[in-house]
Amino acid sequence: DQQVKQNSPSLSVQEGRISILNCDYTNSMFDYFLWYKKYPAEGPTFLISISSIKDKNEDGRFTVFLNKSAKHLSLHIVPSQPGDSAVYFCAASPLRGGTASKLTFGTGTRLQVTL
Amino acid sequence: DGGITQSPKYLFRKEGQNVTLSCEQNLNHDAMYWYRQDPGQGLRLIYYSQIVNDFQKGDIAEGYSVSREKKESFPLTVTSAQKNPTAFYLCASTSGGDGANVLTFGAGSRLTVL
């Protein structure tokens, strides 16, 4: 049972435009959400996170929105740059801290930013 | 620079052989994790260790074993009991506390069974 779903395996966006990556979850116990970015042949790197007490968190060009009632979060990248081309994983946990052993990852969305 | 080093980057194994993947970190992190990534799937947790000389099974521990004799090292052995070992393996660590979910990953090891 996939508790964290990224229904779009891939997304292509023109440079300078907005990229919107979506993530849905089914477990109402999830309380903390993260996005990781992964380049080929490298490990993922942490991008941005949001706690369930917020509905928005912004860090430079990256903004994550959380809609708890819809069990949906999205990552907005504005403006998109070619270096943003990577696979983006959504992850969720019932705990903000303590252990990452409860972290559940989505299947990833491959973003390609074209010139 | 602090980080996580995984070796080897690529590994080929014949069926029936055990192989050990190395993971070393110099971040002074207490907790270390092993994940497996397969095409079209998210990262799945194999084993984790919160402290030296202690480790717990993750969601897909069958066919794998680990040890944690030193804080810096968390090797993963893929045994012959693992039915489908071909995958990309990622080691990660975290400082714990409120930052526990912010994992630092190694570059990964790709294992192919011939």
Contact A91 B101 (CB under 8 A): yes
- Checking if the pLDDT of B1 tops 80, the result is no
Contact A43 B48 (CB under 8 A): no
Task: Give the tens place of pLDDT for each residue, A100-114.
Answer: 888 999 999 999 999
Interface test with B, best of A51, A101, A107 (most B CBs within 10 A): A101
pLDDT at site A96:
82
Q: Which of A32, A43, A99 sits opposite B105 (nearest CB)?
A: A43
The residue in chain B having the minimum alpha-carbon distance to the alpha carbon of residue A3 is B42
3-state DSSP of chain B = CCCEEEECCEEEECCCCCEEEEEEECCCCCEEEEEEECCCCCCEEEEEEEECCEEEECCCCCCEEECCCECCECCEEECCCCCCCCEEEEEEEECCHHHCCCCEECCCEEEEEC
- Checking if the pLDDT of A1 tops 80, the result is no
Q: Does B3 touch chain A (CB under 8 A)?
A: no
The residue in chain B having the minimum alpha-carbon distance to the alpha carbon of residue A4 is B42
Strand partners, A10: A110
**What's the Rg (C-alpha) of chain B?**
13
Task: Give the tens place of pLDDT for each residue, B31-69.
Answer: 999 999 998 888 999 999 999 999 999 999 999 999 999
pLDDT at site A26:
96
The set of residues, in sequence order, having a beta carbon less than 8 Å from that of A8 and lying 6+ positions away, is A21, A22, A109
Contact A100 B48 (CB under 8 A): yes
